[in-house]
Structure formats: C-alpha cells, structure tokens
Amino acid sequence: MRLEIPTNAERFGANTFYQVQKIYELEGGYGIDTEFDSPFHVIQQIPYDRLHEIEKDLAIIIPVKNERLRLLEGVLCGIPHACLPIVLSNSQNEPTDRFRMECSMVDTFCRHAKKKYLIAHQRSPEVARLFSDGGYLHLLDEDGLVRHGKAEGMLAGIALANLVGKKYVGFIDADNYFPGAVFEYVRIFSAGLSQSKSPYSMVRIQWHSKPKIVDAELFFAKWGRVTRITNQYLNLFLSQYTGYETEILRTGNAGEHALSMPLALALDYSTGFSVETHQFVSLMEKFGGVLPSPFPEIMKTGVEIFQIESRNPHLHEATKGQDHIREMIEYSLSVLWHSRICPALVQKDIARELRRLKIVRKNESPLQLRRYPELSTLNFSAAAAALDWSRHGNYTPA
C-alpha cells in the first residue's frame, strides 16, 4: 500500500490521535521501493511482504446477527488468506436455525478455499463457560450466558483470538455487499498497524462514501447522521483539554477497526452499538493523564491511533430504520456524557443536542450504559480448558 504519512496529530496524555491518512495505491509493490529512500516524502510505501507479516497474526472478527448468508460469504471471500476469520454469531436458533445454516456455509466455503476459521454462537453455553471459568462474570446475564449485543459478540471474539495466540484483532461487519471493500479494510488494518512504533495501537477506517439513490441518481454521501454528531462532540471533548479547537477525530463510530492485542485487552468496553465511541472514552480516561492510569507501562510507551480513509464506497444492508439511527446517536452521546472526565461544557451541549433530537426530556439524564472492564482481568489459562476447538471450526491453536 502507498499512503500518506500522518504529519498532524493531537496528543492527549499518552494518546496520539493521527489525522486521517489518504491512500494513494492499494497495492504498493513487493519489497522496498528505493524511490522512498529520501526522508523528504509525504507518502510512504508499505510493501506487500510487511502487510503479510501482520496478517499472519491478525484475527478478523465478524459479528453477525441474522444477515443474509450470501453477504457473509462475500465477507469471507474478501479476507486475505493469511488472516484467521472468527465468526461470532447471535443469529436465531428457532424457528429456523440460522446459526446452523451459517456454520454449514462457512465450513463448506472454508473447506473449498482451504481456509482456517473459527465460528461460535455468542449465546452458547461453551462460550459462556469461557468467561465463567476465566472469572470474568461481567459479560454474563441472569441465565449465565453472554449478553446480547454487538459489543458483547466483539468481546467474545477478542477472547477467542487471544486464546489462539493472535497478536492483532480487526472487526468487519457481516452485511457488506462488496468483498473488494472488505479486502481493502483488512489491508488498511495491516498497513495501519505496521506503522506503529508502540505495541499499543489502533486503526480506524473512515469510509470514503456511502452510496445512496437520490432522485433516481447515485449519490455518494460522505457523512452519516450518527457519525457527524458523534465526531462533533468527540472533538469538542478533546479540545476542552487541549485548549485548541480541532476536527481531527473523524471515526467516532467506525465499525471497521483493528487493535493490537495488548491494547484490546487493556481498554474498557461499553454495550451494544456504543462500543466504538466508547473506545475513545476509554483511551482518554485510561491514558489521557487526567485520571491515574491503571497501566503505567502504557503511559510510558504511548498509544497510537491511526485513521485511514478507504477508497471503496461502503455498501451495506440499510434496512435498520430511524429508531436504529436514534439509538446509535443516543448510545454514542451517552457514553461521552457519562465519562468520568467529560467537561461540564460538553455535558451541557450534549444534553441540549439530545433534547433537540427529542431523545431525552428536560432534566432527564442520558442513559447510563453497561460497561465492561478490561479483558486482561480474564484468566485465560483457566478459560482455555472450556473450549473444544474441533466444535468451532478447523483451526486448532498450537
């Protein structure tokens, strides 16, 4: 890949938030291009072999809930061979057993492609045992099963990826229409992660555009309603601490993102669709230097957050409706409002926005959402005994 070197960044404690990087070539060539020997470049080349090194250690978690099988198959097709796909499903078991259909499709596909994979149902007793045996009970409901929700599926996926020894995790939604876009997202993950000088890094994708039909014409919208609002308040939050107005954060709701495993295990998480915005809250709370950090070694090493703009348009299932959009806005703004370090002015503006959108009433506080502490508190050796890997795909950890 050939992409811009991020020259601008905002620093907040140990966090470095880089500006969005533009991609020049999706495929940057094999081996080092000596044209880039001079230090005076604004573009960098990340050769294919370097991306491959990262991808060997990268698990791609695909959260899925009742999506069309053809879309899920397309997503599998877009994931480079060296990565390990981990499908985490919360699809229905009855009246039609959609999870069984997913297992069958994924297994056939991977058998033909000779591709390694893992698949698990988020609500299975086996996945629940992983967390009960590992002493991480926060994720379990009154039935002793992993709670419903996208974040909850992602956490189960991170735990599985760590158990099989992966060094990086990336997330890609199962309802993507373009395998080529999925392929690009994974390449962006590996390119982004390869730039980091710290073992604690994250890459977030800013979609190039989301095509829509407007008056019988294709229109390539850049910003969704949720993203626009989340980013506005995230930047306001950051600027209250730095003292400088900023627009650097563009990926507040990035469903497609990747983390190095040490960072994935050190962050707190928040339920359902608040998860992506909350990652910023967790970064600012834990490594912003405002509160004492539970990870002094990370404070010394630093955390790098890259934002990269994809080139493919993002086309996904868009039948979720206005209530879903409102819920996503509510969730994103609520986690900012409830942050222990949210400045009073930001709280006031968020409350006003939520009232304007008729999401909260006067004098009502935003929703307090369920939070999950860092996964590093899970006892992974105790959890490892819970799983019979042969029931979850064709990948057996060494």
Could you say which of 175, 184, 285, 327 contacts ligand GDD (CB under 6 A)?
175
Q: How far apart are CA 149 and CA 230, in angstroms?
A: 20
Task: Say if strands 257-260 and 201-206 run parallel, antiparallel, or are unpaired.
Answer: antiparallel
Q: Which of residues 323-362 bind ligand GDD (CB under 6 A)?
A: 324
Residue 127 or 191 having the CB closest to ligand GDD: 127
192 interacts with ligand GDD by CB under 6 A: no
- If one counts every other C-beta atom within 10 angstroms of the C-beta of residue 371, the result is 17
In the complex, least distance from residue 354 CB atom to ligand GDD, rounded to whole angstroms = 18
Residue 10 or 175 having the CB closest to ligand GDD: 175
Is residue 343 reached through a cis peptide bond, with omega within 30 degrees of 0 on the bond before it? Answer: no
In the complex, least distance from residue 210 CB atom to ligand GDD, rounded to whole angstroms = 8
For residue 219, give the amino acid letter. F
Task: Say if strands 371-372 and 217-221 run parallel, antiparallel, or are unpaired.
Answer: unpaired
174 interacts with ligand GDD by CB under 6 A: yes
- Which 8-state DSSP code applies to residue 62? E
Q: Which of residues 29-88 bind ligand GDD (CB under 6 A)?
A: 63-65, 67, 88
CA angle (100, 257, 391) in 5-degree steps: 25
Could you say which of 19, 45, 122, 195 contacts ligand GDD (CB under 6 A)?
122
149 interacts with ligand GDD by CB under 6 A: yes
**C-beta nearest to ligand GDD: residue:** 255
Q: Which of residues 211-230 bind ligand GDD (CB under 6 A)?
A: 224, 226
In the complex, least distance from residue 31 CB atom to ligand GDD, rounded to whole angstroms = 35
CA dihedral 101, 105, 106, 107 (to 10 degrees): 100
How many residues are given for the chain? 398
Stretch that binds ligand GDD, among 18-26, 97-105, 134-142, 169-177 (CB under 6 A): 169-177
Nearest to 228 by CA among 112, 298, 325: 325
Beta-bridge partner residues of 309: 206
Stretch that binds ligand GDD, among 5-13, 172-180, 234-242, 342-350 (CB under 6 A): 172-180
153 touches 90 (CB < 8 A): yes
316 interacts with ligand GDD by CB under 6 A: yes
Q: How far apart are CA 192 and CA 181, in angstroms?
A: 16
Phi, psi at 222, each rounded to 5°: -95, -45
251 interacts with ligand GDD by CB under 6 A: no
- Which residues here bind ligand GDD, judged by CB under 6 A? 63-65, 67, 88-90, 122, 148-150, 153, 173-175, 224, 226, 253, 255, 273, 276, 316, 320, 324
